[in-house]
């Protein structure tokens, strides 16, 4: 239960960070783990609260609350407090295949639902999770687990993001022969190309886990786009494998089809981030920039989520002239509003790493709230020159729905030579859905009930963002594990997978 007087004596402390003006000089991870003393003190703040909300994932008011992979948080916090690190790692691995990923990039809904958070700053759960995992790797406790027996069954997993990797890991441990198909040149999906290196190191962290899975028997095939690759059709997969699990993500980006969209210099955020990470990896982070870069440009990022933040941080590292981030929603309050009570996810104002870096250079938060783009402006050569934007307010229409309405007299132009569209995703790409002939739900996601993950085709399962829509890495791991369990049951009649 931690220390009986833990949170009464000890304040919340998390990972420290390299100063913004220093870390923008490189692409390395900038989080600095606390020493053992601080980790144990933070574990001590987690006191047996009777009914912990942190370790049970659920949706509250449409937002994630608690841990979707059901991490045994009070247990491993207590073990950290007592200095029993190896046991803490064993507890962590019981529910989470990749704590080194979630400990870095998960937004930590567990902390938002921490019972201590009702009266004080919550337990530093995410920092301790990462510390446990990284210590396990450093101490050599994370070793290949090669299944003693093989079932002879073959499973194809399409997509190597967090859902696909979690599914493959579980099915391999069940003794099946697993082949993961990835259309990009490297394994990892969103983990590899959707998240910049300064948040999640591709070689030391992602590559290390992929190499371990390869040693354990998982086969990886890159550069293969199922459905578009002549050799690997959906029909061949269904013929050559006993089961197929689709984990292709929700990579269909939301566009902004307004006047001037054809101007040169307007790009989808993921294309920008992918091009940068691929270039950095191909050139071993030698300081060079990809062809698509923000150097010397006035950049506008449209969208306020994690992807938008990553675009801000990447543009800063490219040496942009200035970066502005536009948000259509109002600025959140500094503390929970009355209609946002615990254990809902706290919708409060914060500066993420990208905004901190831009602020250090520019003198303030780069975000503008309650702003909508009306049209893109271009010069005589057809290149982007600016955006016409307007302040908006949210009001109800005749049907009672909240819609944005322009504020009179607020129309203005801001200069830009590069716009990055980071407005989220609308669902999976239609070619893979149509290629397999799986049913889609009204939101265009693959139709497969959560908990069963079965599509309309026998032996074909779906999991992750492809099934549930754009979501969190922990939900992807939850779904990958769940789909593996049901796929194992389909193959063997029974399953012992959790």
Q: What is the CATH number of the domain that holds 311?
A: 3.50.50.60
Query: Do 244 and 292 share a structural domain?
Result: no
Count of CB atoms situated within 10 Å of the CB of 256: 15
Maximum distance among all alpha carbons in the chain?
Answer: 72
Flag whether 145 is in a domain: no
The three state secondary structure string of 132-154 is HHHHHHHCCCCCCCCCCCCCCCE
Under 8 Å between Cβ of 160 and 189 = yes
**pLDDT tens for the chain, residues 1 to 498:** 667 778 888 889 999 999 999 999 999 999 998 899 999 999 999 987 888 999 888 888 888 899 999 999 999 999 999 999 999 999 999 999 999 999 999 999 999 999 999 999 999 999 999 999 999 999 999 999 999 999 999 999 999 999 999 999 999 999 999 999 999 999 999 999 999 999 999 999 999 999 999 999 999 999 999 988 889 999 999 999 999 999 999 999 999 999 999 999 999 999 999 999 999 999 999 999 999 999 999 999 999 999 999 999 999 999 999 999 999 999 999 999 999 999 999 999 999 999 999 999 999 999 999 999 999 999 999 999 999 999 999 999 999 999 999 999 999 999 999 999 999 999 998 888 999 999 999 999 999 999 999 999 999 999 999 999 999 999 999 999 999 999 999 999 999 999
Domain limits at 35? 6-138
Q: Quick check: helix, strand or coil at residue 260?
A: coil
Under 8 Å between Cβ of 379 and 415 = no
Q: Structure tokens of 349?
A: 């104002």
SS3 content of the chain, % helix, strand, coil (to 5): 35, 20, 45
Query: Do 401 and 443 share a structural domain?
Result: no
Query: Do 160 and 48 share a structural domain?
Result: no
The whole-number pLDDT of residue 430 equals 85
Under 8 Å between Cβ of 278 and 289 = no
Q: Cα–Cα distance between 29 and 16 in angstroms, integer?
A: 12
Q: Quick check: helix, strand or coil at residue 406?
A: strand
Q: Cα–Cα distance between 42 and 51 in angstroms, integer?
A: 19
Query: Do 21 and 110 share a structural domain?
Result: yes
Sign of CA dihedral 271, 277, 280, 284: negative
Query: Do 111 and 20 share a structural domain?
Result: yes
- The tally of domains found in the chain comes to 3
Q: Quick check: helix, strand or coil at residue 456?
A: coil
Count of CB atoms situated within 10 Å of the CB of 334: 8
Is the bond leading into 36 cis (omega within 30 degrees of zero)?
no
The whole-number pLDDT of residue 364 equals 96
Query: Do 176 and 116 share a structural domain?
Result: no
Query: H-helix or E-strand containing 465?
Result: helix 465-468
Flag whether 143 is in a domain: no
Flag whether 147 is in a domain: no
Region of 115 (left: φ > 0; alpha: ψ -120 to 50; beta: rest) is: alpha
Could you tell me the CATH number of the domain that includes residue 37? 1.10.1060.10
Under 8 Å between Cβ of 33 and 70 = no
Query: Do 405 and 261 share a structural domain?
Result: yes
Last residue of a domain, one of 82, 109, 138: 138
CB within 8 Å of 282: residues ≥ 6 apart: none
Q: Cα–Cα distance between 169 and 190 in angstroms, integer?
A: 17
DSSP state of 202: I
Kind of pairing between the strands at 298-302 and 154-158? unpaired
Is the bond leading into 343 cis (omega within 30 degrees of zero)?
yes
Q: Cα–Cα distance between 282 and 27 in angstroms, integer?
A: 14
Q: Cα–Cα distance between 467 and 453 in angstroms, integer?
A: 8
β-pair partners for 181: 158, 221
Flag whether 144 is in a domain: no
Query: Do 265 and 247 share a structural domain?
Result: no
Task: State the pTM of this model.
Answer: 0.95
Last residue of a domain, one of 138, 166, 195: 138
Closest CA to 194 of 281, 97, 276: 276
């Amino acid at each position: 239960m931690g220390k009986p007087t833990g949170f009464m004596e000890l304040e919340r402390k998390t990972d420290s960070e390299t100063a913004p003006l220093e870390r923008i000089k490189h692409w390395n991870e900038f989080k600095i783990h606390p020493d053992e003393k601080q980790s144990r003190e933070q574990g001590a703040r987690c006191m047996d609260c009777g009914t912990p909300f942190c370790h049970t994932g659920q949706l509250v008011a449409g937002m994630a609350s608690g841990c979707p992979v059901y991490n045994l948080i009070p247990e491993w916090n207590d073990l950290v407090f007592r200095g029993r690190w190896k046991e803490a790692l064993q507890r962590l691995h019981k529910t989470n295949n990749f704590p080194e990923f979630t400990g870095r990039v998960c937004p930590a809904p567990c902390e938002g639902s921490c019972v201590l958070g009702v009266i004080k700053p919550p337990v530093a759960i995410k920092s301790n999770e990462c510390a446990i995992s990284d210590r396990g790797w450093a101490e050599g406790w994370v070793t290949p687990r090669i299944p003693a027996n093989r079932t002879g069954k073959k499973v194809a997993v399409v997509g190597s993001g967090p859902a696909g990797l979690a599914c493959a890991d579980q099915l391999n441990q069940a003794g099946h022969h697993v082949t993961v198909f990835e259309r990009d040149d490297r394994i990892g999906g969103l983990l590899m190309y959707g998240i910049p290196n300064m948040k999640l190191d591709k070689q030391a962290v992602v590559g290390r886990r992929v190499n371990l899975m390869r040693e354990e028997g998982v086969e990886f095939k890159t550069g293969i786009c199922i459905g578009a690759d002549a050799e690997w059709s959906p029909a061949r997969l269904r013929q050559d494998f006993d089961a197929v699990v689709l984990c292709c993500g929700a990579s269909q980006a939301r566009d902004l089809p307004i006047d001037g969209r054809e101007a040169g210099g307007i790009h989808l955020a993921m294309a920008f981030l992918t091009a940068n990470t691929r270039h950095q990896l191909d050139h071993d982070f030698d300081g060079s920039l990809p062809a698509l870069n923000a150097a010397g440009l006035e950049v506008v990022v449209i969208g306020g989520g994690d992807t938008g933040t990553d675009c801000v941080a990447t543009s800063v590292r490219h040496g942009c002239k200035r970066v502005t981030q536009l948000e259509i929603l109002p600025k959140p309050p500094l503390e929970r509003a009355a209609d946002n009570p615990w254990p809902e996810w706290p919708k409060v104002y914060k500066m993420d790493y990208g905004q901190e870096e831009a602020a250090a250079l520019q003198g303030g938060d780069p975000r503008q709230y309650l702003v909508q783009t009306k049209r893109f402006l271009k010069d005589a050569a057809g290149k982007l020159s600016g955006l016409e934007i307007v302040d908006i307010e949210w009001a109800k229409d005749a049907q009672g729905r909240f819609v944005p309405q322009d504020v009179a007299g607020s129309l203005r132009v801001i200069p830009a030579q590069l716009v990055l569209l980071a407005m989220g995703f609308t669902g999976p790409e239609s070619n893979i859905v149509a290629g397999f002939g799986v049913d889609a739900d009204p939101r265009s996601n693959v139709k497969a009930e959560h908990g069963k993950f079965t599509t309309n085709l026998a032996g074909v399962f779906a999991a992750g963002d492809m099934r549930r829509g754009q979501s969190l890495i922990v939900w992807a791991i939850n779904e990958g594990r769940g789909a593996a369990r049901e796929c194992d049951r389909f193959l063997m009649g029974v399953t012992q997978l959790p």
